[in-house]
Amino acid sequence: MLTELEIVNDMLAATGTAAVSTANTSHPAYKKAYNKLVKEARVMQGKGWWFNRSVRMYRPNVAGEVILPSTTLNADPTNTNLKYVVRGGKLYSMSSGSHVIGHEVEVDVIEFVPIADMPPTAQAYLQAHAVYMFYLDENGGEPKLSSYLRLVQDSRAAIMRDQLQNSDVNFFKGASYKSFARPQTMRRLLK
């Protein structure tokens, strides 16, 4: 398992900057790389992966507002007729223009997971992408840029493989099969 410090030091090494220790995290180079890492982690996890996505039921508070955990990156009601978005850490009704929801809501939630708690393939993808983006931001050039890009592509393939394996993607369980397998459709196919 990778630590944030190890990834930051890899980012710094890409630009030829010396590694920092845990005692030296106030160094300007560390702060710059760390901020970039956190930004890249939020963007990467915001897409929603098997390890940071779940369906949860949320109840409104006494004011009728549905407050979301501070780690929430996105929340979308499973009922597609509900036009709710995340605003200010709460669900917001686009229809009424208010945070007052007034009823419990089942929500597909994407949460930010600490880097240390991410699965190894996700950490590897984040590491490769953060190093690449940091090197690119620091005006890094070829041939290292192409090498870092290949690492990003390889680690992306690995995380996508894990995404498919862990997402239980199956035609026979999805909405496409349900509409395909309707009795009238089956009768037409059997004629």
Give me the residue spans of the domains in the chain: 4-48+114-167, 53-111
- Of the pLDDT bands very low, low, confident and very high (cuts 50, 70, 90), residue 71 is very high
* pLDDT tens, position by position, 114-125: 999 999 999 999
* pLDDT tens, position by position, 39-49: 999 999 999 99
Q: Provide DSSP, the chain.
A: ---HHHHHHHHHHHTTPPP--GGGTTSHHHHHHHHHHHHHHHHHHHT--TTTEEEEEE---TTSB-BPPTTEEEEEESSTT--EEEETTEEEETTTTBSB--S-EEEEEEE---GGGS-HHHHHHHHHHHHHHHHHHTT--TTHHHHHHHHHHHHHHHHHHHHHHHTT--GGGSHHHHHHT-HHHHHHHH-
pTM higher than the cut 0.95: no
